Amino acid sequence: MRKLVLSILMLGILLAIVGSVSAINCVEDEYCSTACHVVIDEPQEGDYYDPVTISWHYEGTCRPVEYSLYYQEGSCEGDNWQNIEHDLGAITTTYEWDVTDFESGEYCIAVNMDQLSGPDAGSTTGVFILDLDDPELEIIVGDPKVIDGEDTYVNQETPITLECTDDGEYDSGVDYIEYSINGGEWMTYDEPFTFCEDSHHTLEARCVDMVGKYDEKEKDFIVDSVGPVVSRIVGMPNIPTEGGYYVTEDTEICVSAMNDEEEPHPVPGEITLGCKGVELDDDNCFHYTEDSEHQLYCWAEDALGNTGEEDWTDFVESQAPITTASFEGPYYTDGYAEWIDGVSTVALNAVDPEPHPVGVETTYYRYEIVDDEYCRGEQYEDVISLSSVDEYEEEWMTYEGPFSIPEQSCHMIEYYSIDFLGNQEEVGHTFVFVDKTAPTTHKVVGRPNHQCGTNDNECEEGWDYIVTTNTDIELSCTDNEPHPSGIKELCYQVTLDGDAQGWNCVPSDEVIVQFPEESEHLLEFYCVDNVDKTSEIDSELFKVEGEQVTIDLYKKWNLISIPFNLISSDIEEVFSQISDDVEVVWSYDEDGWHVYSPEGPSNLDVIEPGYGYWVKAKEDTTLVVGGSLLGPAPGVPPSRELQKGWNLIGHYGTEEKSVYCSLFSLIDTSVGYPRWSALFGYDAPSDNFISLNAMNPGDKTKPGKGYWIEMDVDDLYSPATTCWGFSD
């Protein structure tokens, strides 16, 4: 019975639905335009739904009492309609269909209206799709990444991809994907993204399909984009410099890499380390193998591929300094040996050579007396044996500035330097004489000269010598042992009548001076050796007067005379210069013969102008005399008394004259004739006497010659300056 009732009911529903569909499809019939029919607004044919809201309205003249809702799976055809809801109120036009227990698929909805009067009205939707399956969201983590247990490590370059799947037979498809980071604003996902900040991040993502169903996932990430920190330890020796170090080939350098200590979430796993251009050992250490400037570049990579790098500029310097010695102050070299004075200092200049000098830290030195041969270079090859720093007992001293060597001798100076990296040079050597002995002066006063003595009638107070304008004065210097550096210069000054002429220095150890003027001359001189030590000043006062005459003497008898007042009339002094060559000197005057012999008894003490002298010489020689006929200050020109008879006389003056003029003081000026009857000269080379005639202009008397004259009367013989009544 119940089945019968249900069948009748379903039949009525179908009839009503058919009637309703017929009414809806009636478009031209006048009755249809006013008949009641139902219009279903939702769901629409072909659309996807979940949930399903059924909404409808009616058109035409309708008197609804209640509504009934039905569904059919697969299509709107057939009679497999299932009840959704009965007895909905007349004013109800919307119904939320609970599809919780349904499956996705194609469905059709029917709405039936019971009216108060008239036939029932109804309508169907057409087939729509019920989408009850949620989409599936997947968070895909790209590379680089590190999975450590539940932790996922990425960096700021790691792409995060969100993929959503909703492609089943009755799925409506993905509407959109969105995500939020750390609870922030939701953002629409369009393409893979990366994290912009290193930190601990929580990613929330969801995928929504076309009917509003969604899949939501959450994932934690640790974002670390900081690479490892590369560092190194530079062993000794080393010197820090800007951007690196100065090192040697013995310096060990070890590099390392580790996560930054300030990183909150360092990436676990192995760190790869490498350096360009060097080979690291198992401990990541190495040595440079050549002196140069090295650009060291090292890098490290963690498990995420984050890299750290560092570069340094190192200078490898294995060259030792080069030390040279020089001398400040007095210094001299002859090309082989070297000399300094006690006031000189030794300067050591140490240079750390290019191309990468690190600088000299310390210079050491010492000095020791050695044999003179080393300083002269005669044993230079043996210097190699002195290279040991332990060869001598002298301790090494630290060089702080130029130093002096107080002792006078040949010294070996040893030195070496160490740079700031400990590179030490071999010991260097310099050999030098220390000369502290000043030179001495010597003076030789040539002929003619007279050395003044105490109570000397020839000299005034203060005079040391009387010389002529032709007298050579030899000044010389001697640099004395034990280590003479030699004479650099001889300096002399002449003061004429109190007026200094200025110092004249010549680069010689000897000079000859002559005084050109007849006057008083103060002669001063000193010597300077090659290391600037100066002798005492030699100072003597010379009286210069007259000139020099040289008288030739032959190895036999010679008849000579002195033409002027000598600077010294002492016969022994006059002949002292040739005393070994003179046997005897005779003179004749009114008192008879007088003799002088260098080796025998003598009664001839002086030699004077106007007198003739017989000189017997043992060898050919010359007698150099100096003086003048006249001199300043009180004094009388020379003259002598001649007695009647034979007299031995000499020529006055340094110029030859005719006999008449030369002996004019013996002329009888009243008549113009000589007061003598005979005049003879003597020619030593030929051993002949030569008669001279006053009336013969060609007969002349000569300086330095002696003559026999036979006087008719006593008379005074004097130098003659006039000669009238007779012409040469």
Round to whole Å and give the CA distance between 198 and 183.
Answer: 17
CA distance 113 to 123: 9
Give the confidence band of 610 by pLDDT, cuts at 50, 70, 90: very high
SS3 of the chain: helix, strand, coil, percent, to 5: 5, 45, 45
Where helices occur in 25-151 by DSSP H, the ranges are: none
Which are the contacts of 310, defined by CB distance < 8 A and separation ≥ 6?
230, 231, 232, 297, 298, 299
- Residues near 484 by Cβ (< 8 Å), separated by ≥ 6? 435, 437, 439, 529
Number of CB atoms found within 10 A of residue 249's CB? 12
Q: How confident is the model at residue 380 (pLDDT cuts 50, 70, 90)?
A: low
- Establish whether domains 2-130 and 229-316 are of one fold: yes
Percent of all residues in the chain with a pLDDT value above 90, rounded to a whole number: 72
Map out the domains of the chain as residue ranges.
2-130, 136-223, 229-316, 322-432, 440-544, 547-717
Distance of CA 367 to the CA centre of its chain: 29
pLDDT computed for residue 393 by the predictor: 57
pLDDT at 13 (0 to 100): 40
pLDDT in tens, 146-192: 999 989 999 999 999 999 999 999 999 999 999 999 999 999 999 99
| Average pLDDT for 628-642 | 85
- Give the pLDDT mean for 623-627: 91
CATH topology of domain 440-544: Immunoglobulin-like (2.60.40)
Dihedral sign for Cα 455, 456, 462, 464, please: negative
**Which one-letter amino acid corresponds to residue 554?**
Y
More confident call, 279 vs 27: 279
Distance separating alpha carbons of residues 348 and 329, to the nearest angstrom: 14
| pLDDT 10s digits, 358-377 | 999 999 999 999 988 888 87
- Write out the CATH class of domain 136-223: mainly beta
Residue 725: band (very low, low, confident or very high) from pLDDT cuts 50, 70, 90: low
Pick the closest to residue 443 from 473, 421, 398 (CA basis): 473
The fold adopted by the segment(s) 322-432 is: Immunoglobulin-like (2.60.40)
Q: What is the mean pLDDT of residues 681-692?
A: 95
Does pTM surpass 0.75?
no
Name the residue among 163, 158, 156, 54 with its Cα closest to residue 112.
54
What pLDDT is stored for residue 183 in this prediction? 93
Contact 469, 452 (CB under 8 A): no
Convert the pLDDT of each residue in 542-581 to its tens digit. 999 888 899 999 999 999 999 999 988 999 999 998 999 9
Interval 488-538: pLDDT, tens: 999 999 998 888 889 999 999 999 999 988 888 999 999 999 999 999 999
Tally Cβ neighbours within 10 Å of residue 380.
14
Tell which phi-psi region holds residue 712, choosing left (phi > 0), alpha (psi between -120 and 50) or beta.
alpha
Q: What is the pLDDT of residue 2?
A: 31
Element (H, E) at 661: helix 659-662
Residue 260 — pLDDT band, cuts 50, 70, 90? confident
Rounded Cα gap, residues 120 and 111, in angstroms: 11
Share of the chain above pLDDT 70, in %: 92
Res 4: pLDDT? 32
Radius of gyration, CA atoms only, the chain:
72
The region that residue 401 occupies, defined by phi over 0 for left and psi between -120 and 50 for alpha, beta otherwise, is left
Residues near 194 by beta carbon (within 8 Å), at least 6 away in sequence: 156, 157, 158, 159, 160
Three-state DSSP class for residue 403 = strand
Q: Quick one: fold of 2-130?
A: Immunoglobulin-like (2.60.40)
Task: Report whether CATH 2.115.10 matches the domain 229-316.
Answer: no
**Measuring CA to CA, which residue among 624, 618, 610 is closest to residue 582?**
618
Query: According to the model, what pLDDT value does residue 392 have?
Result: 54
- pLDDT tens for residues 76-114? 998 899 999 988 999 999 999 999 999 999 999 999 999
The pLDDT, as a whole number, for residue 529 is: 94
